[in-house]
């Protein structure tokens, strides 16, 4: 006699199959998430490049020089640096997106609010910036320094992919600076790196950029 072929799965076999499928879904989700995170990081770098390029050109504009040297603006830094630029139409509305990291908690300001009384909330800016009155001088300085970098809110945006912190140097270079590089090249401790407020405006190469 021939035994009849078994049909279907046992409960144990079914649970094993479900477990394997669950594992595959988890691995796939991790891979997809990592892919999009890296894409955001790369796009942030592109936007930083655009931002630096436009501000470098702007630094040689007489209107910017006049605004930057004005007593009311010369010490404006961080998000207030950008606020002045947008308020006085030194930067275009399209650039509101360029000062926001795709991988962080911030969102671009509403274009409808632009004007003479425009106020840029800290939640609408992901980057540090130098004092307006020092910007042109820093661009021309022999010693390179960080002009723009992720602020405290966005400092750890790409820790999950070990990218480090996006910085724009005064000599026009852009990179993701890691804690290891910061420790080796600038003697920045792990404690300082974990709390960038100890770096901004205080320690090289972040001593000329502020939140």
Q: What's the pTM? A: 0.84
> C-alpha angle 158/50/75, rounded to 5°?
85
Under 8 Å CB-to-CB from 153, ≥6 apart: which residues? 104, 105, 106, 122, 123, 126
8 A C-beta contact, residue 154 and residue 48: no
Write the pLDDT tens digit of every residue in 145-181.
Answer: 999 999 999 999 999 999 999 999 999 999 999 999 9
48-66 tens-digit pLDDT? 999 999 999 999 999 999 9
Q: Are 71 and 204 in contact (CB under 8 A)?
A: no
Identify which of 99, 136, 134 has the alpha carbon closest to the alpha carbon of residue 207.
134
């Amino acid at each position: 006699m021939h035994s009849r072929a078994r049909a279907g799965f046992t409960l144990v076999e079914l649970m094993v199959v479900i477990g394997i499928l669950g594992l595959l879904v988890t691995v796939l989700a991790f891979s997809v998430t990592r892919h999009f995170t890296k894409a955001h990081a790369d796009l942030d770098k592109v936007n930083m490049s655009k931002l630096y390029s436009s501000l470098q050109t702007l630094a040689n504009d007489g209107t910017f020089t006049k605004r930057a040297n004005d007593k009311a603006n010369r010490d404006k830094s961080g998000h207030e640096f950008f606020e002045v630029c947008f308020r006085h139409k030194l930067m275009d509305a399209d650039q509101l997106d360029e000062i926001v990291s795709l991988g962080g908690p911030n969102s671009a300001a509403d274009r409808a609010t632009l004007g003479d009384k425009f106020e840029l909330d800290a939640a609408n800016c992901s980057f540090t910036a130098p004092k307006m009155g020092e910007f042109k001088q820093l661009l021309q300085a022999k010693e390179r320094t960080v002009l723009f970098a992720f602020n405290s809110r966005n400092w750890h945006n790409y820790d999950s992919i070990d990218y480090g912190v996006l910085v724009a140097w005064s000599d026009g270079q852009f990179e993701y600076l890691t804690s290891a590089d910061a420790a080796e090249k600038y003697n920045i401790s792990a404690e300082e790196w974990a709390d960038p407020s100890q770096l901004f405006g205080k320690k090289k190469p972040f001593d000329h950029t502020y939140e």
